Amino acid sequence: MKRLVLVGTLVSAVGAAAAFAQATQPDPNAKPARRAARTTGQQAGHTAPKPQPETAPSPNVPTGEMQLGSVRIPKPVKVDGKTLPAGTYQMKLTAQPATPPAAGQTPQAERYVELIQRGQVKARDVVTIVPQSEIDKVQKDAPPRPNGSKVETLKGGDYLRVWINKGGNHYLLHLPTNA
């Protein structure tokens, strides 16, 4: 019995060694690392960096003040820490950029917008300006028609989005609801 166990162990060890040797044998068709480095001009083990995506050109956004249009806000929202009641407001884009600037944004693409009612500025908040060429990367919903607007409560009911499509740009304003 001892002899059978010893023979079985010996056969297993020889079989495992043969399998290990086959798995670690180098490919006979592969070039050695040094020769590959000399022929390609690269150091062994290093490859050229991956190509980076092209950067988008600077967006064409308006720089001065501009009337964006009239929107009806269906329920009270918070703007700049104050409650803004439901109603119809004129929206006017100001020339003032948002401060501090948003990381990764073009500075002109984050600006203040004024909400005006009966000739009086009722509130100011930051609007994001997205060029027509990039809107599909930012929003999945169908945009409003040109020179139109869309006001909708976002999923969960915590925010109201005011979306204006004017002059080849989209203006997005997100306002927290009072809920």
pLDDT 10s digits, 66-87: 999 999 999 999 998 889 999 9
Q: State how far the Cα of 139 lies from the Cα of 101, in Å rounded to an integer.
A: 21
Claim to verify: residue 128 and residue 76 sit in the same structural domain: yes
Distances (CA, A) of 139 to 53, 77, 107, 135: 21, 22, 20, 6
Claim to verify: residue 87 and residue 163 sit in the same structural domain: yes
pTM beyond 0.85, yes or no:
no
Residue 95 resides in a domain: yes
Provide the pLDDT for residue 41. 52
Q: Element (H or E) spanning 77, and its range?
A: strand 77-79
Claim to verify: residue 79 and residue 129 sit in the same structural domain: yes
Claim to verify: residue 104 and residue 167 sit in the same structural domain: yes
* pLDDT for residue 47 is more than 60: yes
Indicate the number of domains in the chain. Answer: 2
- The mean pLDDT value for 150-166 works out to 92
What range defines the domain where residue 31 resides?
2-40
Q: State how far the Cα of 84 lies from the Cα of 62, in Å rounded to an integer.
A: 27
User: What residue spans of 63-140 are helical by DSSP H?
Assistant: 135-138
| Residue written as token pair 């190509």 | 51
151 near 164, Cβ under 8 Å?
Answer: no
Claim to verify: residue 29 and residue 79 sit in the same structural domain: no
Provide the pLDDT for residue 163. 93
- The mean pLDDT value for 6-34 works out to 63
Residue 45 resides in a domain: no
Which residue, 164, 169, 172, 175, is CA-closest to 68? 164
